[in-house]
Amino acid sequence: MKHLLSIQDLSAGQINTVLKTADSFREVGTRTIKKVPTLRGRTVCNLFFEPSTRTRISFELAAKRLSADVVNFTGDAKSSLSKGESFKDTAQTLQAMGIDAIVVRHASAGAPQRLSGWVEASVINAGDGAHEHPTQALLDLYSIREHFPSFDGLRVGIVGDIVHSRVARSNARALRTMGAEVVLIAPPTFLPPAVDTWGVSVSYDLEAVLPSLDVVYLLRVQRERQNEQLVPSLREYATFWGLDLRRVNRMRPEAVIMHPGPMNRGVEIAAEVADLDRAIITDQVTNGVAVRMSLLYLMLGGLNSDRDRAREAPARRATDPAQLAFEQAMAEVEPALG
Amino acid sequence: MANAILVRGGRLVDPASGTDRTADILVRDGRIEAVGAGLAAGEAEVVEADGAVVSPGFVDLHVHLREPGREDEETIASGSAAAARGGFTAICAMPNTEPACDSAAVAEKVAASGRFLGLTRVVPAGALTHAREGTQLAAIGEMARSVARVRLFTDDGRGVQDTRLLRRAMEYLTGFGGICAEHCDDEALSEGGQMHEGEVSSRLGLRGMPAEAEDLALARDIALARLTGCRFHALHVSTAGSVALVRAAKAEGLAVTAEVTPHHLTLTHEELASFDPVFKVNPPLRSLADVAACRAGLADGTLDAIATDHAPHAAHEKEAEFEAAPPGLIGMETALGVVLALVRDGVLSLPALVERLSTGPARVLGLEGQGGPIVAGAPAHLVVFDPEARWVVDPSRFASRSRNCPWAGQELTGKVLATIFEGRLVVSNGELLEGVGATW
Ligand SMILES: [Zn+2]
Ligand SMILES: [Zn+2]
């Protein structure tokens, strides 16, 4: 697979491959020296036209732990949108510099797809407008998988501003691909048009649905959406769709709470709920690095370069247990790779 | 160039006279001299039309020529050349230039440039409001009474949002016999929209423009046409709701006409899944049901005309992120090849299609001498096309200065072979003749 533009680019088998491979990389993050030589000599560019410190750092750490060189390019979304040619110019500049992979975040839906048509490098979508955020979906699946034996029949409620949420789009698709059931829970103004075509169920009533959910996935409510009059007030939103302790008590005992961050404490999630053990929000962050390592490894031909390296320097390979672990994992899952 | 042309052996399809038969047409000194079998060529230049269709030149009610202001995208010269290559012998130029065509000076300049070039008739449309700002009436009377004789008025690119101002415009227009034409869009509902609102916009996370934004504006405009008695023309109708509204207005006997574009007849919002801004247009590509309704409306005559909404844009502007790219596509040189699919799909007959491309739009605009009939004594505005010729669209060979064509690289069936404007051959063998028009 050359690019990751949408979670739809991945089959269930490929998603499993990414998650399995991430298991080995998670272990790397617990070591004193959190680094493997897998992508030595490769260059990854984080091209962020929209500020997102946490996603950028997660990708940067992932690339660095694989020994890739990382360059960060922070574009100005406003100037890019006002004179669009600069986006293609930037792409061609990166192309000329021999970048191997571009991790792109952009306020405009479809920007990664446009970019992939202009460069030789692999393009990874790190969030494009309200379209998709596929790596977020992968890390969320990884985090869910740590708590439940299977996605089959799992019931996941996604709560909040679905219409503007790339996280909701990617997660709903990924979860359905893996066999889980998705319920979107929001006021009607937060639901996308033609939501009946999403293959999910819909509820306006969080309280009624809560007892049936295995995962309660809360979305950030953008304060700037207030101007659009989608809900009368944030307070009213919190009253009906916010997760507080009283509502947590209606949840199944084994159900977990997730959030892509950053959180609006007191709006979609009460402060004390965010601190509960069953809120696995920090695990999501930790897993983000491992899952992104897994992706970069699989996409940047880590597979091939490992084989090449094995031929060139078998000694180093033998002494690196992490490397051995990946290769074992890869041997198992390689047939599933597209 | 000979001042006589014999178009020999073509299938003459002339909706204005109800003709569909094989005939020769002799053209002399700008007029049709004779129509019949076995006409003698004499000294006339012969255009062999065997196996081809000969019809009145096409009339495009809706093109953007960008001059004055954005001559890098299109000029009256390049746009006229594109029109001639597309078989159009008259085009109506929308007023959203820089400055806008809101005065006699600009209107006369546009009309005069077109006349000077002599490739096609360029009919300027005037703005309804000053600078197309939607706040005060433009110099409607001045434009209507100018040498350019402006008859169609519109703020196209946008609709007039202020209902009271539009009512005033319509009332005022009736005094000058003008036509109010609207880009029907209720911006309160569609603002910020990037594409048609529906299943695809939902999936792509792009903000949608609901069909209802067009329907509501059109319903309002029809109500105002009823109130004021003004002639009204709906530009680029794209929704099933709009087609139904126009149908009802006509049944009621209102002076309402409507046009539809080749792209709204053949493409759907599914094209947007590529995020390719070449498919970004306004009104947006709609659902399959809307396309079907537009086709049905064209077939039953609810929609009077096919108009291209030819909207040239510079390459760098379209090579941007989807949301940053301007809407619009070019269509004059591909129109025939695109809409002939409707005949193959059994939507309407070839004569009916020709009617919607020539006679229908000429009638909407009241253009004398255009759209037929092809009879002795009439001005000679003709197109000769091969409905079976296959060709691959290569925008780099277009006469238009812009390349934003969604059919690039695709094979179309149906090609213009020759265009005769004012009795002169301006396009022959599908190419603009050397020495016609001006150099640019
Ligand atoms: Zn328009
Ligand atoms: Zn237009």
What B429-433 contacts at long range (C-beta under 8 Å, 24+ apart), as own/partner pairs, is: B430/B85, B431/B85, B432/B81, B432/B84, B432/B85, B432/B119, B432/B399
Model confidence at A228, pLDDT cuts 50, 70, 90, reads: confident
Interface predicted TM-score (ipTM): 0.90
- Choose the closest CB to B321 out of A81, A164, A193: A81
pLDDT of A321 higher than 90: no
Residue A323's pLDDT is what? 60
Residues 6 or more apart whose Cβ sits within 8 Å of residue A52: A105, A126, A127
If we measure between CA atoms, which residue out of B324, B316, B314 comes closest to residue A81? B324
Active site residue B156: no
Please name the residues between 82 and 121 in chain A that touch chain B, using a CB distance below 8 Å. 82, 84-85, 87-88, 106-111, 113-114
Helix (H, G, I), strand (E, B) or coil at B59: strand
Residue A308's pLDDT is what? 46
* Cα torsion angle, B396, B401, B404, B406, sign: negative
Residue A258's pLDDT is what? 98
Q: How far apart are CA B87 and CA B58, in angstroms?
A: 6
pLDDT of A333 higher than 80: no
pLDDT per residue of chain B (440 residues) written in tens, 0 to 9:
458 999 999 999 999 999 999 999 999 999 999 999 999 999 999 999 999 999 999 999 999 999 999 999 999 999 999 999 999 999 999 999 999 999 999 999 999 999 999 999 999 999 999 999 999 999 999 999 999 999 999 999 999 999 999 999 999 999 999 999 999 999 999 999 999 999 999 999 999 999 999 999 999 999 999 999 999 999 999 999 999 999 999 999 999 999 999 999 999 999 999 999 999 999 999 999 999 999 999 999 999 999 999 999 999 999 989 999 999 999 999 999 999 999 999 999 999 999 999 999 999 999 999 999 999 999 999 999 999 999 999 999 999 999 999 999 999 999 999 999 999 999 999 999 977 665 44
| A109:B319 CB<8 A | no
Angle at CA of residue A159, ends A164 and A178, nearest 5°? 90
- Choose the closest CB to A194 out of B199, B206, B322: B199
Model confidence at A79, pLDDT cuts 50, 70, 90, reads: low
Token pair of A51, please?
A: 């500020």
Lowest mean pLDDT among A149-163, A214-228, B215-229: A214-228
Q: Which ligand is located closest to the Cα atom of residue B308?
A: 2
- Are A230 and A177 in contact by the 8 Å Cβ rule? The answer is no
Angle at CA of residue B64, ends B58 and B70, nearest 5°? 145
Interval between CA B179 and ligand 1 midpoint (Å): 16
Backbone angles phi, psi at B408, to 5 degrees: -50, 130
Q: How far apart are CA B360 and CA B277, in angstroms?
A: 31
Residue B103's pLDDT is what? 98
Backbone angles phi, psi at A249, to 5 degrees: -65, -15
Q: How buried is A1 (Cβ within 10 angstroms: 0-12 exposed, 13-18 middle, 19+ buried)?
A: middle
Question: Over chain A, what is the mean pLDDT?
Answer: 89
Q: Calculate Rg over the CA atoms of chain B.
A: 20
Q: In which residue are the tokens 């995208």 written?
A: B73
Lowest mean pLDDT among A76-80, A291-295, B394-398: A76-80
Type and span of the H or E element at A301: none
Type and span of the H or E element at A237: helix A234-241
Angle at CA of residue A254, ends A248 and A258, nearest 5°? 60
Interval between CA B234 and ligand 2 midpoint (Å): 11
Question: Over chain B, what is the mean pLDDT?
Answer: 97
Residue A332's pLDDT is what? 54
Interval between CA B311 and ligand 1 midpoint (Å): 9
Helix (H, G, I), strand (E, B) or coil at B82: helix
Residue A307's pLDDT is what? 45
- Are B132 and B157 in contact by the 8 Å Cβ rule? The answer is yes
Q: Does B209 touch chain A (CB under 8 A)?
A: no
Q: Does B323 touch chain A (CB under 8 A)?
A: yes
| A88:B319 CB<8 A | yes
Q: Which ligand is located closest to the Cα atom of residue B158?
A: 1
- The residue of chain B nearest to residue A112, with distances taken between CA atoms, is B321
Lowest mean pLDDT among A6-10, A51-55, A118-122, B63-67: A51-55
Give the gap in angstroms from C-alpha B355 to the nearest C-alpha of chain A. Answer: 38
- Are B431 and B81 in contact by the 8 Å Cβ rule? The answer is no
Q: Which of B309, B345, B386, B394 is catalytic?
A: B309
- Are B124 and B148 in contact by the 8 Å Cβ rule? The answer is yes
Residue B431's pLDDT is what? 95
Q: How far apart are CA B224 and CA B73, in angstroms?
A: 35
pLDDT of A81 higher than 60: no
**Residue to test with chain A: of B191, B202, B317, most A Cβ within 10 A:** B202
Residues 6 or more apart whose Cβ sits within 8 Å of residue B3: B28, B29, B423
- Are A151 and A138 in contact by the 8 Å Cβ rule? The answer is no
What number is the average pLDDT over the span A97-121? Answer: 95
pLDDT of A212 higher than 50: yes
Q: Does A75 touch chain B (CB under 8 A)?
A: no
Residue A40's pLDDT is what? 93
If we measure between CA atoms, which residue out of A290, B385, A260 comes closest to residue A269? A260
